[in-house]
A and B are shown apart, each in its own frame.
Chain A
Amino acid sequence: MAAVGYSESMKVNWNWIGYSSAAGATAVCTLAGLAMRSRFDLVNIAMVYLLAVVIIALRFPRGPAIAASVFSVAVFDFTFVPPRGRLTIDDVQYLLTFAIMLAVALVISRLVESIRHQASAQAALAIDAETERIRSALLASISHDLRTPLAVMAGASSSLAAGGERLGEEERRALATSVFHQAQEMSEHVAKILQMTRLEAGAITVERDWVALSEIAGAVLTRLSERLKAHRVIVELPDDLPLVRVDATLIEQALGNLLENCAKHTPAGTIVRVFARREGAEIVVTVEDYSGGLSDRDLERVFAKFQRGTVEGGGTDIGLGLAICRAIVRLHGGRAWAERVPAGGTAFRFTLPFEEPPAVPAESTVT
C-alpha cells in the first residue's frame, strides 16, 4: 500500500511540474517573441511557440502538452496577433496556426506515450524471461537435488523391506543411516525452497527483538557443528558489540547460510573467521574464509538464485543459501555482498542498521 501511495503522490507531483513547465515555457516564448517582434514575421514567432509545445509534449504527459498549446495560442493571440490585447482573431490564417499547434502537441504526446508503453512492455517481457529462467532453474534444481536423495531413499528402504533379515547387521545399519541422512538433506532443500518462495512472495513478517549477535553465532555454530567439524572456525566478536534489533530466527538463518556456504565450498582444514563490528550507523557481520577466493564475476553471481559459483566441489548445494541470506538482510534494511580478501579468500559480509539499545537498569553488586 505504501508503494502505491508513493507513486500516486509522485504522479500528482509530476503533473504539477508539467503544467508549471507549460506555463513557464509559454512565458519564455513570449519574452523571446517580444524581442523578435521588430525583425521577424509573426509566423516565425509562432514557430518559437511551436518549439515550446514540442518540448513540453516530449517531456510530459498529454495534459501539460495540451495546456502548453492552449497557453501558447492564447498568449500569442493576446500579445502578437492584431488586434493586440484582445483574444479575438481577425485573420483566418492564424486559426490554422492554432490548429497546427494543438495537433503537434497531441501527435507528439501520442508518440511519446506509445514509446513509453513499448519500453515498459519490453521491461515486463524481460521480467517474464527472468521468471522463466528461475522457474526452469528451479525445476532443474528440484529434479537433481531432490531426485537423488529420493532415489537413494526409495532404493535403500525397499532393499531393507524386501530382504532386511538376509543382510548383515552392518549393511542394514548403513542402508538405514543413508535413508536418514538423505531425508535430512532433502528436508533442508525443501525448507530452503519454501523459505525463498515465502521471502519472494513477501509472506514473511520480520519480528524484531533485541538480540545479541554472539548468541546468534553460538546457536549457528552449535547447529552446524557437524558440517563444520573439518573447518577451523574462529569467532571474534567484541565484548562491547551492541545488541541489534532484528528477527533472531531470520538472522540466524542468514549467518547460518553463509557458514554453510563456506563448509560446502572450501576444502577441509580451511580457516573460517566470523567477526562483527560497528561501523557508524551499521553493524557489519563478516564470514571470511582463506581458500582461493572467487572470481570477480562470481562475487556477485553467488548471491543469485540457483547459482553455485564456478568453484570446485559444488556438492549438493541447492544454490539458494546466499540468495536467502541477501533477501533476509534486505528485509532488515541491510546489504549483503562478497569481496576478495587480499590474503586469498572470500569475505561474505552483511550489514544491519545500528540502533541505540535501551538501557538495562544497573544492579547493585552487593549481595
Chain B
Amino acid sequence: MILIVEDEPDIRRFLRSTFDLEGYRVVEAASGRRASIDAGTHKPDLAIVDLGLPDIDGVEVIRRIREWSPMPIIVLSARVQERAKIEALDAGADDYVTKPFGVGELLARVRAAFRHAVRTASGTSILRLGTTVVDLEKRSASRDGAEVHLTPVEFRLLIALAKHSGMVATQRQLLTEVWGPTHERDTHYLRIYMKQLRDKLEVDPVQPHHLLTETGIGYRLVLDE
C-alpha cells in the first residue's frame, strides 16, 4: 500500500490512477496532519510526500513518520525548493522527484525503493555494478574477473552508498557515515574518493552508470539486479 500526501487534487488523481494500474493500493492524504494519522492507522509500505503542504511542512511529516517507521519515503518537490529537498532527504526521505515529472520517473523511484527494501531484508552483501562485483562482507572486489584493490575508506564509502542503493545518499549522510560528524562539511573528501571509486569500478568514470552524481545533493548507487 502506498500513502500519497499531496494537497493538489489533480495530482492525487493521476497518481492514484497510475498506482491503481500498477496494482498498488493507495491511501490519499490532502494535508500533513491527515498524513501523520493515516501513516499510523494504515501502516503503508511506502509514502510519497509533497513538500509544499498547506498545514505542516512536508519535512516535518517525514520526521514524524521516521520516528516510528523505516518505510521508504519519496519526496515530490518543485524546482525552486532545492534546499527543502536536501532538508527532506537529511530528515529521512529516501529519494525525490522534481515537479513536473512523468509517472515513468516516479514509478522507477518507487520500484527502486521496494527493491532496496528487499535487498536489505535478504541481507546480501554482494554488489553488482556491470562487470564489477563487490563483496562487502569479504571486503573484496573484482572487475572482469580480475581483483581490484579498494582502500578501507573506499570500502566504507561504498557501504554507505549501498545503505541507500538505488536511492539518494546526501553529502552530509555520506560524510558523517564515512568520516564522522566532524567532517560533515568536508565535501572535497567525497569528490576525491568518489573519483577513486569510479576510476576503479566504472567503465567510463566521467559518464558513470552506477556511481551517479546528484548535483548539489549527493550520490546514487545504481546496482544491477
Interface residues of A (CB under 8 A from B): 180, 183-184, 187, 191, 194, 207, 209-212, 214-219, 221-222, 235, 237, 243, 247-249, 252, 357-358, 360, 363, 365, 367
Residues 187-225 of chain B: 1 if any A CB is under 8 Å from the residue's CB, otherwise 0? Answer: 111011111000000000111100011111000000000
- Asked if A180 meets B208 with Cβ closer than 8 Å, knowing A215-B194, A363-B151, A363-B152, the reply is no
Q: Digitize B16-45: 1 where CB-to-A-CB distance is under 8 Å, 0 elsewhere.
A: 000000000000000000000000000000
In the bound complex, do residue B207 and residue A210 qualify as a contact, i.e. CB atoms below 8 Å apart? no
B123 proximal to A (CB < 8 A): no
> A358 contacts B139, CB within 8 Å?
no
In contact, A237 and B187 (Cβ under 8 angstroms): no
Q: Which B residues, 154 to 186, have Cβ-Cβ distances below 8 Å to chain A?
A: 186
| Residues of B contacting A237 in the complex (Cβ-Cβ under 8 angstroms) | 206
Known: A221-B206, A357-B188, A360-B189. 18 other contacts (CB 8 A): A207-B216, A210-B191, A211-B187, A214-B195, A215-B191, A217-B206, A218-B206, A218-B207, A218-B213, A219-B214, A222-B207, A237-B206, A243-B188, A358-B186, A360-B188, A365-B149, A367-B151, A367-B152
Chain A CB within 8 A of B82 CB: yes
**Chain B residues packing against A (C-beta within 8 Å):** 79-80, 82, 100, 102, 139, 149, 151-153, 186-189, 191-195, 205-208, 212-216
CB neighbours of B194 from chain A (8 A): 212, 215
Asked if A248 and B215 make an inter-chain contact with CB atoms under 8 angstroms apart, the answer reads: yes
Q: Is the CB of B139 within 8 A of A252?
A: no
Interface pair B206/A212, CB less than 8 Å apart:
no
Closest B residue, CB atoms, query A186? B100
Contact assessment for A212 and B215 in the assembled complex, using a CB-CB cutoff below 8 Å: no
Contacts A/B (CB < 8 Å), 15 sampled: A183-B100, A194-B80, A210-B187, A215-B194, A215-B215, A218-B206, A218-B207, A219-B215, A222-B212, A243-B188, A243-B191, A252-B216, A360-B192, A363-B152, A367-B152
Q: How far is the CB of A205 from chain B (nearest CB, A)?
A: 10
Q: Which residues of A contact B195 (CB under 8 A)?
A: 212, 214-215
- Residues of B within 8 Å of A247, CB to CB, are 216
Q: Are A214 and B205 in contact (CB under 8 A)?
A: yes
The residue of chain A having its C-beta at the shortest distance from the C-beta of B214 within the complex is: A219
In the bound assembly, the distance between CA atoms of A194 and B81 in angstroms comes to 13
Q: What A residues does B79 contact at CB under 8 A?
A: 191
Residues of A within 8 A of B207 (CB): 218, 221-222, 235
List the A side residues contacting B208 at CB < 8 Å: 218
**Which residue of B is nearest A191, CB measured?**
B79
A216, B215: Cβ atoms under 8 Å? yes
Q: State in angstroms the CA–CA spacing of A207 and B215 once bound together.
A: 12
Specify which chain A residues have a CB less than 8 angstroms from the CB of B212 in the assembled complex: 218-219, 222
Chain A residue nearest in CB terms to B193 = A360
B142 CB → nearest A CB, Å: 15
When distances are taken between beta carbons in the complex, the residues of chain A under 8 Å from B216 are: 207, 209, 247-249, 252
Q: Which residue of B lies closest to A256 (CB)?
A: B215
Closest to B212 in A: A222
Contact indicator B191/A211 (Cβ below 8 Å):
yes
Q: How far is it, in angstroms, between the C-alpha of A219 and the C-alpha of B215 when the chains are bound? A: 7
CB within 8 Å for A209 and B151 given contacts A215-B194, A249-B216: no
* A191, A248, A365: most-surrounded residue (chain B CB, <10 A): A248
Which residues on B sit within 8 Å (CB–CB) of A358? 186, 188
Tell me the complex Cα distance, A237–B193, Å.
Answer: 17
Which residues on B sit within 8 Å (CB–CB) of A360?
Answer: 188-189, 192-193
Q: A212, A215, A252, A357 — which one has the most chain B CB atoms within 10 A of its CB?
A: A215
Which residue from chain A places its CB closest to the CB of B152 in the assembled complex? A367
Known contacts A215-B191, A367-B139; is A235 also within 8 Å of B206 by CB? yes
CB distance from A102 to the nearest CB of B (A): 61
- By a CB distance below 8 angstroms, the chain A residues around B213 are 215-216, 218-219
Given that A252-B215, A363-B152 are known contacts, is A209 also in contact with B206, CB under 8 Å in the complex?
no
9 closest A-B pairs (Cβ-Cβ)? Answer: A210-B188, A249-B216, A212-B191, A215-B213, A248-B216, A252-B215, A219-B213, A219-B215, A360-B192
Q: Complex formed: what's the CA distance from A130 to B60 in Å?
A: 46
Q: Nearest residue in A to B171 (C-beta to C-beta)?
A: A209
Cα A180 to Cα B102 with chains together (Å) = 8
Q: Report the bound CA distance from A243 to B212 in whole Å.
A: 18
**Interfacial chain B residues near A367, Cβ < 8 Å:** 139, 149, 151-152
- Nearest opposing residue in chain A for B82, CB measure: A249
> Which of B102, B208, B216 is packed against the most chain A CB atoms within 10 Å?
B216
CA gap between A237 and B191 in the complex, in Å: 15
Cα A301 to Cα B213 in complex, Å, equals: 33
- State in angstroms the CA–CA spacing of A66 and B96 once bound together: 69
A107 to B1, CA, bound (A): 86
- Cross-chain contact of A363 among B149, B153, B187, B205 (Cβ < 8 A): B153
When chains A and B are docked, how far (Å) is the Cα of A363 from the Cα of B152?
Answer: 8
Cα of A243 to Cα of B190 in the assembled complex, Å? 11
User: CA of A39 to CA of B189 in the docked complex: distance in angstroms?
Assistant: 84
The CA of A360 and the CA of B192, in the complex, are separated in Å by 8
Q: Which residue of A lies closest to B185 (CB)?
A: A209
Tell me, in angstroms, the Cα distance from A365 to B200 when the chains sit together.
14
Query: Which residues of chain B are within 8 angstroms of A210 by Cβ–Cβ distance?
Result: 187-188, 191
